[in-house]
Structure 1
Amino acid sequence: MQTNLTVIVLTHNEELNIEECLRSLVPLKCRIVVVDSGSSDKTLEIVQNHKVEIYNHEFNNYGDQRNWAQQNTGIETDWVLHIDADERLNKLLCENIINVLMDNSNSEIDGYLISRRTIFMGKFIRYGGHYPVYHNRMFRIAKGMCETRLYDQHFIVDGIVEKLSGDIIDVTDDLDDWFNRHMKWAEMEAEQILGKNKKNKLVESKLGGTPIERRRWMKNNLYYKMPLFLRCLIYFGYRYFVRLGVLDGYKGLIFHFLHGFWYRFKVDTCILKKKLNWV
């Protein structure tokens, strides 16, 4: 008997990740929908070995792709869970998802915040403000959607949201793939910051709100107010020293430098390039 849940997984050339992702979903005993955007590797070959439904849809941005998946894949379950192909659900999270789906006393709850655990080159990144980081990932399908942004999209849930114990594990083992993704995301974030992709229905920026709303407030009202290039240096120092990222060891140094300084520096470079119309 299937649970009252549909899991949506977006894929594009994820042959290194999709097997472990799909295996982690097996305990949920639910419908799994894979939406692929033109993979040219063995992603679809691997997916076809699992009990999933495959859809193909051209990729525009993550928000549009996630919303398309919700609206066009024949979902009849009350609940939906969104994960990425490079993510896995740990055992505790699977157990708690099943528990809330079976519990009829939680009818007033419309969504759940789930913590993301980053595993970088085999190292759990515990410090630097990087764990726990909560995201709306599971919600009643009639109550939630993804905000339509080019980058840094979050899910909007219209109703009561609670935290759910357990982690979505985000795995990075391939640095080349990491750089390729973040080079693309830096361009998208720069365009987003410059206001070339402003749309309605965004997560609120609220200091006293949910963890997601607080992070959005701090980004909009503190980080983006600082000078280009200086802010990424300040941010890295804050993460690495004030938030104790130094305790994550040498792999943590690589991660916090790349994620907290290099990526933010790349975004600022893209912003300046677009402002000055560099080729």
Structure 2
Amino acid sequence: MKISASIIVRNEEENIAALCENLSWADEIVIVDSDSTDRTKEIALRYTDKVFNREFRGYKDKHEFADSQTTGDWIFWIDADERLNPELLESIERLRQRDSATLPDGFRIARLTEYQGRWIRHSGWYPDYQMRLYRKSASYWDGVAPHETARVRGSVETLTGEFLHYTKRNLSEHHRVLDEYTTLAAEHLFNNKKRIRSIDLFVLPIAAFIRTWLIKQGFRDGIPGLIIAMFTAYSVFLKFAKLWEKKRTEATVVE
């Protein structure tokens, strides 16, 4: 069972070394950059010679390219700010002792996120199962930007253990990522001719807050949970506000 680690990056000099060391068990590490302006490439080359640069055309395109450069029968994809915990490493090691032909085509793994100094176990952020280990020949990428994901055509099982997500060092970074992602989401809605009503800008953010804070028990995550709920509501508002703005701008151009 040859497993290739597949990673897409940009300006990850603070994370890439620790990630590659965490992936020392992998048969190969494939890293795809998109014109980093820091030392990401230089550091990555210390751990693997399979470092590529690709113009950014979307996350799906970048993931597909990364997977295409792997030589293993199996792919494990991971982001630069994620790490495998010991239990997950043991699960993968046990898996490698089994006959690959008898395995399902994919394995989903729970993701535990650290935010504002706290491990978030509610707020809709946990267990946040992700398809991360899959048979290359049975896989494809699907989903809506910026949350594309790997999928498989066959059966899927769950691996014991978690991968740890050290996300968004501060509120400014969280806001920057949210701004980027809501722009992509608004463009997707626009391309799919999604209608926008004024009530959407009011009701949907409130509903998102209630879902995150109450239904998903974000209140159990303390102040970080409240911040997550507020940001979730704001992201919904911003997504639809950007959609409205884009529709208005396009209408003005047509006129």
Q: TM-score, normalised by structure 2?
A: 0.88
- Contact 2:56–2:62 (8 Å) recurs in 1: yes
Q: 1-side partners of 2:41 and 2:161: how far apart? A: 29
Letter in 2 for 1:17: N
Q: Could you give the per-residue CA deviations for residues 16-67 of structure 1, whole angstroms, max 9, x where no partner exists?
A: 22233222212x2421111001000121222233245211111111111111
Instruction: Give the one of 225, 229, 248 matched to 1:252.
Output: 225
Instruction: Give the one of 107, 120, 142 matched to 1:125.
Output: 120
Deviation at 1:114, TM superposition (A): 1.1
User: Which residue pairs with 1:155 in the alignment?
Assistant: 150
1:261 partnered with 2:237: no
- Contact 1:63–1:149 (8 Å) recurs in 2: no
Counting only pairs closer than 5 Å after superposition, residues 1-279 of structure 1 correspond to structure 2 as: 4-26=2-24, 28-51=25-48, 53-71=50-68, 73=69, 75-104=70-99, 107-147=102-142, 149-172=144-167, 173-195=169-191, 227-258=200-231, 260-277=232-249
Q: Structure 1 residues 256 and 15, CA, compared in 2 at 3 Å: closer, same or farther?
A: farther
Q: 2-side partners of 1:52 and 1:116: how far apart? A: 28
Deviation at 1:169, TM superposition (A): 1.6
Q: 2-side partners of 1:148 and 1:234: how far apart? A: 23
Q: 1-side partners of 2:159 and 2:170: how far apart? A: 29
Q: 1-side partners of 2:4 and 2:136: how far apart? A: 9
Name stretches of at least 5 consecutive residues in structure 2 with no aligned partner: none
Q: 2-side partners of 1:69 and 1:196: how far apart? A: 28
Deviation at 1:196, TM superposition (A): 5.1
Secondary structure of the 1:170 match is: strand
Deviation at 1:179, TM superposition (A): 2.1
Q: Could you give the per-residue CA deviations for residues 91-134 of structure 1, whole angstroms, max 9, x where no partner exists?
A: 11111112112211762410001111111122111112221111
Q: 2-side partners of 1:35 and 1:123: how far apart? A: 30
- Contact 1:110–1:139 (8 Å) recurs in 2: yes
Secondary structure of the 1:109 match is: coil
- Contact 1:117–1:167 (8 Å) recurs in 2: yes
Letter in 2 for 1:83: I
Secondary structure of the 1:124 match is: strand
Deviation at 1:276, TM superposition (A): 1.4
Deviation at 1:242, TM superposition (A): 2.2
- Contact 1:123–1:252 (8 Å) recurs in 2: no
Letter in 1 for 2:43: I
Letter in 2 for 1:178: H
Q: 2-side partners of 1:95 and 1:53: how far apart? A: 26
Q: Would you say how many aligned residue pairs link Structure 1 and Structure 2?
A: 246
Q: Which is greater in Rg?
A: 2
Q: 2-side partners of 1:11 and 1:52: how far apart? A: 15
Q: 2-side partners of 1:64 and 1:105: how far apart? A: 28
RMSD (CA atoms): 2.2
Letter in 1 for 2:209: F
- Contact 1:114–1:165 (8 Å) recurs in 2: yes
Q: Structure 1 residues 29 and 147, CA, compared in 2 at 3 Å: closer, same or farther?
A: closer
